[in-house]
């Protein structure tokens, strides 16, 4: 049997001639090769290749969630894509270990040749941030200029387009807002959950007031903390209060979406909610991993150049450290645990709701 195409040669398939000819040493152009510049270039080229793959996976997830109805099997595919992103992130975080085999003096051998080029100008990473859901107003600026000002015109156009597209955060918010189980026939999760919270908070107050081990000062402190917790729950149960907090930046998810995310986490053991729970967990993993990567990057920069400014004109370590705190997307998902209650206190789901959340063929039906 003949093949329908010509034999494929491994180096041709991977275009290795082109790929392995992409490491141009600036130090060589200035008369003396800096040995570690090769490591610097290859590591950052590897970052860009991995960013390309992450964008490929993220765009696949976004395409699934752009649909008006997201089928359960589509959620499973999205989870698979996100798992791959998380694994890639572990690789890129680990690449810092390789880069740190270069000493500060090794870096100084070629650093000045790089100015004003900087990792800040990584188009793919900025696209990735935008597609995840970082908003322009959320970004730290350098010299009070927009982040896109340091890019070439063609790249600025791509960045603006990515800002206008629905981000993963936007799509998640819309998808969560369509969760059907918040109000299912006569079952109202929010009413049931609020009653359970009231019981829990009243119990906590009694424990504080009746604890014989507390000094008056300790008791007053604990009651003050409990009052603050009660205020957080009040805002959660009042759509108007919640919206005011959302406008202030305390929350970003819509009220309906936050309710749904809470339901998914509290009842994650129900079969129909397990994949949505995995999806939310993986988005937090992705956010956390990029935070880790930024912190590691910031520490590496401090180790390499101290308090000097970066090659792109930023404050170097301080700028990178601040982005680790500020350039996060899914903080509402992290904060959900504020509103968790013990499994033993969860409202029991009515049989018809539990059946709708379960498998068609269960032990009882068989």
Position 78 in a domain: yes
Q: Which CATH number is 207's domain given?
A: 1.20.58.480
Q: Can you list the positions of beta strands (E) in the chain?
A: 183-184, 187-188
Is the whole model's pTM more than 0.75, yes or no?
yes
Position 105 in a domain: yes
- The structural domain count of the chain equals 1
- Residue 177: give the domain boundaries: 32-357
Q: Is 28 helix (H, G, I), strand (E, B) or coil?
A: helix
Q: What is the mean pLDDT of residues 192-216?
A: 92
pLDDT tens readout for residues 348-361: 888 877 777 776 54
pLDDT tens readout for residues 101-128: 999 999 999 999 998 888 888 999 999 9
Position 166 in a domain: yes
Position 141 in a domain: yes
8 A C-beta contact, residue 260 and residue 182: yes
Position 9 in a domain: no
Between 7-11, 54-58, 237-241, 349-353, the lowest mean confidence (pLDDT) is in 349-353
Whole-number CA gyration radius for the chain: 26
Token representation of residue 43: 């590591």
Position 46 in a domain: yes
75 pLDDT tier (thresholds 50, 70, 90):
very high
366 pLDDT tier (thresholds 50, 70, 90):
very low
Position 26 in a domain: no
Q: What pLDDT does 365 receive?
A: 44
Q: What pLDDT does 103 receive?
A: 94
Which residues, including other chains, have CB under 8 Å from residue 96's CB and lie 6 or more apart? Answer: 293, 296, 297, 300
| Selection from 131, 162, 134, 169 nearest residue 280 by Cα | 169
19 pLDDT tier (thresholds 50, 70, 90):
very high
pLDDT tens readout for residues 121-169: 899 999 999 999 999 888 877 777 888 888 999 999 999 999 999 999 9
Q: What pLDDT does 313 receive?
A: 47
Position 85 in a domain: yes
48 pLDDT tier (thresholds 50, 70, 90):
very high
8 A C-beta contact, residue 108 and residue 311: no
pLDDT tens readout for residues 205-228: 999 999 999 999 999 999 999 998
Q: What pLDDT does 266 receive?
A: 93
Q: What pLDDT does 1 receive?
A: 54
Token representation of residue 23: 């490491």
């Amino acid at each position: 049997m003949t093949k329908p195409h010509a034999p494929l040669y491994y180096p041709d398939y991977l275009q290795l001639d082109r790929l392995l000819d992409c490491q141009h040493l600036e130090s060589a152009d200035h008369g003396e090769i800096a040995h570690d510049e090769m490591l610097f270039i290859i590591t950052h080229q590897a970052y860009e290749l991995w960013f390309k793959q992450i964008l490929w996976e993220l765009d696949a997830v976004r395409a699934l969630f752009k649909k008006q109805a997201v089928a359960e099997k589509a959620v499973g595919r999205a989870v698979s894509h996100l798992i791959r992103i998380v694994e890639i992130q572990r690789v890129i975080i680990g690449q810092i270990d390789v880069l740190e085999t270069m000493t500060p003096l090794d870096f100084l051998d070629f650093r000045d040749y790089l100015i004003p080029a900087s990792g800040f100008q990584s188009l793919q990473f900025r696209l990735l941030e935008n597609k995840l859901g970082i908003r322009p107003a959320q970004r730290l600026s350098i010299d009070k200029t927009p982040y896109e000002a340091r890019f070439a015109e063609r790249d600025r156009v791509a960045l603006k387009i990515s800002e206008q597209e629905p981000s993963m955060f936007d799509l998640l918010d819309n998808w969560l807002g369509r969760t059907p189980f918040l109000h299912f026939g006569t079952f109202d999760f929010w009413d049931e959950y609020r009653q359970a919270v009231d019981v829990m908070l009243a119990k906590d107050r009694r424990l504080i007031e009746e604890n014989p081990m507390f000094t008056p000062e300790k008791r007053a402190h604990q009651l003050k903390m409990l009052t603050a917790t009660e205020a957080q729950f009040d805002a959660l149960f009042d759509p108007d209060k919640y919206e005011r907090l959302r406008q202030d930046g305390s929350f970003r998810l819509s009220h309906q979406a936050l309710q749904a995310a809470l339901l998914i986490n509290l009842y994650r053991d129900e079969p129909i909610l397990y994949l949505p729970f995995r999806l939310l967990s993986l988005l937090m993993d992705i956010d956390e991993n990029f935070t880790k990567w930024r912190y590691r990057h910031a520490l590496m920069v401090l180790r390499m150049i101290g308090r000097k400014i970066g090659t792109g004109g930023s404050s170097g370590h301080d700028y990178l450290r601040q982005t680790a705190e500020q350039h996060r997307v899914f903080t509402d998902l992290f904060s959900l645990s504020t509103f968790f209650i013990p499994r033993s206190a969860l409202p029991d789901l009515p049989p018809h709701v539990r059946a709708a959340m379960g498998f068609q063929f269960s032990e009882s039906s068989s």
